[in-house]
Amino acid sequence: MAHPRALYLANLLQVCIQKKPPHFNAESIIHAQILTNGFSSDTFLSNRLVEFYSKSSHLDHAIKVFDGMPHRNIYSWNAIISACSKSGNLDLACQLFDRMTERNVVSYNTVISAMAKGGMEERALKLYYRMVGEGILPTHFTFASVLSACGTLVGLVDGRRCHGLVVKIGLDENLFVENALLSMYTKCGSIQDAISVFDGMSQPNEVSFTAMMGGLMQSGSVDEALRLFGKMHRNGIRIDPVAVSSVLNVCARAEEDEWEDLDQNHGICGNLHRWSIQALITKYGFDSDTHVSNSLIDMYAKHGEMETAEMVFNTLSIVNSVSWNVLISGYGQMGNSNKAIHLLKQMKELGFESDEVTYISMLGACVKSGDIEAATQMFGNISNPTVTSWNAILSGYSQEESYGKAIQYFREMQFMNCKPDRTTAAVILSSCSGMGLLHFGKQVHAASVRAMLDVDMFVASGLVDMYSKCGFIEAARCVFDRMPNRDVVSWNSMITGFAHHSLNQEAFTFFKQMRPNGMSPTASSYASVVNSCARLSSLPQGRQIHAMILKDGYDDHVFVGSTLIDMYAKCGNVDEAWLFFDSMPVKNVVSWNEMIHGYAQNGLGEKAVELFEHMLSTAEKPDGVTFISVLTACSHAGLIDEGIKYFNSMEEHGIKPLADHYTCVIDSLGRAGRLMEAEVFVDKMPFKDDPIIWEVFLSACAVHGSARLGRKAAEQLFRLDPQNSAPYVLLSNIYAALGQWSDVSAVRALMTDRGIIKDRGYSWIYHKDGVTTFMVDDQGATNCKGDSFFDEVNPDHNLVLSNNGDEICAI
């Protein structure tokens, strides 16, 4: 039986422990009494002292008491481990746990809970499996921690495994565990599992309803989330500020067209829309709740109703930094950086401390308004930026196509030991794509693998896009094939990559596999595959894709429409191109350019010029590509003076002529035999090192037999493009046409000395069995190579096409 004095001291300790906060001085006196009375070896009293010092946040004292105990029991170990866990010293807690010779469920629960709360979710999960392996039965406290860890890790497989054990040991009707399961499934994005758990709950509480609303909101089921709020009210479930804030967040996520559907709900949400939200809050008496008010401001801000958001802000009885941040963020989303900066100054003047969230909101405002310098200044105000801040500034530079600057900041981020996340990796991969930095992109890939980010669908899609745009299509395909889950973005990246690298068969194959794999083609999918049809001049296949576009309702998409115009024009069916162009409800400058260029490349220069003149009378303004199209039309139609007039008018439209515009004029003058004018034009142009211009000039000299000018152009090409066989062949043809055979031999000998090999010409025939390519060598021998590009071919259309793309004839 315990000594009466020991019991008295134990009761005093219990009273002190229950005080909030514990009275440290009083407990120190009691500790002294324990030592004075010779009770230091009393295990029970020592355990109470450890517990007391833990509650009063004096871990060092608790450790001293524990280390001085001559006899420890399992409660002693659990008490000191709990003390270390509560103080945040997880390493020491784990060391003590490993030293225990005997552990019970409390020991495991203490450490697992500390790990789950302390950012060590993976270790918490491993310890849970160790616990089960040792035959210790988990409790509802165990599952609450483990399921929380699964949700944070998005570990759906582990979460379902835990769910199975929950059912097996009969805790599936425990409300505490049910809410933990609900939270885990919503965090893992498995909304159907969450619904199944929720529907099976006999007595869901406000936590259950709030978690389920959050899950439905994340999955995009806004209307269902609002219906659930109505059901919560009808069932008499207590509605607290958290639930009201949750429904406000749901409303904030609703798209504009969804607002029209909200009044069809029943119950409390029967006529819920943006103008009745405040009445709902007043009804429940949450007007003075700051969290609810901030959610209300956020809802209006998310829908761009900044006047109403500011009105609510001005009526708040209590304003905190979150209120300011939400308002600043709202103006940031609208790209109104001036207003956001004004609010920041006002916030500081009123004595509110700006934090990282404030500056991230400011970053968003500056980036959206295109003021990257102000964004950089805001970023500089953050003393210790987190990964969210780094991502904001990286995204800003990437969106402004300042890819080099984005990569520079990424390096600085690494030097500051800030661990990148999936958003960081995706943004930097986008910058690598924009600059064609394959080597650096590979380094990012390697770093992503080490950080286990490569399995993330968002990052993997970025890798596919990066490798495709950098010309490493095999690596892109490898990454795509290894993706555990794929979205439409990754499919589009592969299709676009194949099309960009003229791998049209692969592009079509991937396109056809989208629907069987549960993916519906998007505007980007159709645009890429139509481009493949255009490059192959495959009219039957193009018409099949057009039919699919009509079926899926993308014919009104201006980007897709522009590619269809280009496809029909490249296939020689300019009338269908015009019919589609004329029927487009919305046209942009790309649509006009494609139609003008379509007329030009099909020899209808007059119509191209007429359409260009009509474009000038509309609200659509021409760009540099427009002038290339109309200058090409003038060149092909022999409208030389009109072309020069349009060239001279470019500056009136605020467009500076580029090398391509000079090329078009030189081609026009060359076709007309006005070589002296072309020479003067070449001598005055600022792009004297552009090989295309000299090749066009040389071609004109070959047509009109000008040896002097031809040699001048050829010598420039020998310097600029030494491995190109075309200038040697053209110059040789000029000399041969003039009977200068010694010069012909000299050019041929020069080709041999420099190791220049003439490119082979080829044509291809499109027939019912596929596509067959004919290669012709220098001696006139013909080699045939068959390639089946399409699985489905219209047997009524057989076309033979030359490799210059200009000649199309039916056979």
The model's pLDDT over 439-482, given as tens digits with 9 standing for 90+, comes to 888 988 988 888 888 878 888 888 988 998 888 888 888 888 88
Residue 780 lies in a domain: yes
* Higher local confidence (pLDDT), 712 or 784: 712
CA angle 579, 567, 540 (to 5 degrees): 90
d(CA 312, CA 300): 9
Residue 518's region, left for phi above 0, alpha for psi from -120 to 50, else beta, is: left
CA neighbor of 666 nearest in space, from 696, 699, 637: 696
| Plot region of 452 (φ>0 → left; ψ -120 to 50 → alpha; else → beta) | left
The predicted pLDDT at position 144 comes to: 92
DSSP secondary structure code for residue 237 in this structure: P
- φ, ψ at 715 (rounded to 5°): -65, -35
Average pLDDT over residues 727-744: 81
Q: What is the mean pLDDT of residues 375-400?
A: 83
Does 86 reside within a domain?
Answer: no
Q: Are 298 and 330 in contact (CB under 8 A)?
A: yes
Whether the ω angle into residue 21 lies within 30 degrees of 0, i.e. cis, is: yes
What's the residue count for the chain?
811
Distance (Å, whole) CA 220 – CA 218: 5
| Domain tally, the chain | 1
Token readout for 229 is: 């709020």
- Asked if 108 and 136 touch (Cβ cutoff 8 Å), the reply is yes
Mean of the pLDDT values across residues 428-444? 88
Tokens coding 239: 């509605």
Percentage of the chain beyond pLDDT 90 is 7
Query: Which of 354-368, 527-541, 559-573, 753-767 is the least confident region?
Result: 753-767
CA-CA distance, 479 to 38, in Å (whole number)?
71
* Residue 356, domain member (yes or no): no
Which pLDDT band holds residue 177 (cuts at 50, 70, 90)?
Answer: very high
Residue 783 dihedral angles phi and psi, to the nearest 5°: -115, 135
Q: How far apart are CA 118 and CA 124, in angstroms?
A: 10
Q: What is the pTM of this model?
A: 0.58
Instruction: Evaluate if residue 272 carries a pLDDT over 50.
Output: no
For the chain, what is the mean pLDDT? Answer: 79
Residue 106's contacts (CB-CB under 8 Å, 6 or more residues apart) are 78
Q: What angle do CA 486, 489, 495 make, to 5 degrees?
A: 95
Rounded-to-integer distance, Cα 305 and Cα 275, Å: 11
What's the CA gap between 157 and 392, in Å, rounded? 32
Residues whose CB is less than 8 angstroms from the CB of residue 534 and which lie 6 or more positions away in sequence, other chains included: 542, 563, 566, 567, 570, 571
Looking up tokens 């029909």, which residue turns up? 568
806 domain residue, yes or no: yes
Q: In sequence order, what E strands does 662-712 have?
A: none
Residue (of 477, 590, 538) closest to 770 by Cα position: 538
Q: Which domain holds residue 801?
A: 762-810
Using alpha carbons, list the distances in angstroms from residue 378 to 7, 333, 365, 382, 411.
Answer: 62, 16, 10, 7, 19
Cβ contact 324:343 at 8 Å: yes
Distance from C-alpha of 194 to C-alpha of 189, rounded to nearest angstrom: 9
DSSP code of residue 727: H
Give the C-alpha separation, 524 to 63, whole Å.
64
Among 231, 233, 202, 229, CA closest to 213 = 229
Residues 6 or more apart from 180 whose CB is under 8 A from it? 143, 144, 147, 148
Closest C-alpha among 611, 639, 734, 805 to residue 664? 639
Q: What is the mean pLDDT of residues 50-60?
A: 63
The confidence band for 690, taking pLDDT boundaries of 50, 70 and 90, is: confident
Q: How far is it, in rounded angstroms, from Cα 364 to Cα 347?
A: 18
The answer to the question of residue 795 being in a domain is yes
The CA distance from 310 to 379, in Å, is 25
Task: Give whole-number Cα distances, 49 to 41, 523, 698, in Å.
Answer: 12, 69, 97
pLDDT, position 55? 66
Q: How confident is the model at residue 299 (pLDDT cuts 50, 70, 90)?
A: confident
What pLDDT is recorded for position 809?
26
Residue 794 lies in a domain: yes
Q: What is the pLDDT of residue 269?
A: 42
Rounded CA gap, 689 and 601, in Å? 26
Crossing angle (nearest 10°) for helices 726-737 and 707-720: 170
The mean per-residue pLDDT over the stretch 89-100 comes to: 83
| Assigned token pair, 434 | 């924009």
Q: Calculate the dihedral angle through the C-alpha atoms of 77, 80, 85, 90, rounding to the nearest 10 degrees.
A: -70
* 379 closest CA partner among 407, 336, 413: 413
User: Of 165, 157, 204, which is closest to residue 182 (Cα–Cα)?
Assistant: 204
The pLDDT of residue 794 is 36
Mean pLDDT of 786-798: 36
pLDDT tops 80 at residue 598: yes
Q: Answer whether residue 793 is part of any domain.
A: yes
Mean pLDDT of 483-502: 84
pLDDT of residue 609 exceeding 70, the answer is yes
Query: How would residue 14 be classed by pLDDT, with cut points 50, 70 and 90?
Result: low
The stretch 87-114 carries a mean pLDDT of: 84
Mapping DSSP to helix (H, G, I), strand (E, B) and coil, where does residue 781 land?
coil
* Mean pLDDT in residue range 700-722: 82
Alpha carbons 40 and 714: distance in angstroms, whole number: 103
pLDDT of 161 over the 90 cut: yes
What phi, psi does 136 have (nearest 5°)? -85, 125
pLDDT beyond 80 at 204? yes
Angle at which helix 624-637 crosses helix 640-648, to 10 degrees, equals: 160
Distance CA 241, CA 154 (A): 27
CA angle 678, 680, 685 (to 5 degrees): 90
Which amino acid is located at 212 in the chain? M
Distance CA 157, CA 93 (A): 28
Give the side-chain half-sphere CA count within 13 A for 608.
32
Give Cα separations from 646 to 99, 260, 642, 685 (angstroms): 87, 50, 6, 16
Burial (Cβ within 10 Å: 0-12, 13-18, ≥19) of residue 567 = buried
Give yes or no for a contact between 729 and 699, defined as CB atoms under 8 angstroms apart.
no
Q: Is the pLDDT of residue 180 over 90?
A: yes
When pLDDT is averaged across residues 182-187 and rounded to a whole number, the result is: 90
Indicate left, alpha or beta for 602 from its phi (over 0: left) and psi (-120 to 50: alpha). Answer: alpha
Task: Please give the residue that has the higher pLDDT: either 36 or 423.
Answer: 423
Give residue 163's pLDDT band: very low, low, confident or very high (50, 70, 90): very high
Sign (positive or negative) of CA dihedral 309, 310, 312, 313: positive
Question: Dihedral sign, CA of 652, 658, 661, 662?
Answer: positive
Tokens of 551: 């079926």
- pLDDT at residue 19, as a whole number: 56
Cα gap 175→208, rounded to integer Å: 9
3-class secondary structure per residue, 51-64: HHHHHCCCHHHHHH
| Model confidence pLDDT, tens digit, residues 214-224 | 888 777 677 78
Q: So what's the pLDDT on residue 356?
A: 74
- Is the model's pLDDT at 146 over the cut of 90? yes
Distance CA 626, CA 623 (A): 5
pLDDT at 341 over 60: yes
Residue type, 353: E
- Confidence at residue 42, expressed as pLDDT on a 0 to 100 scale: 59
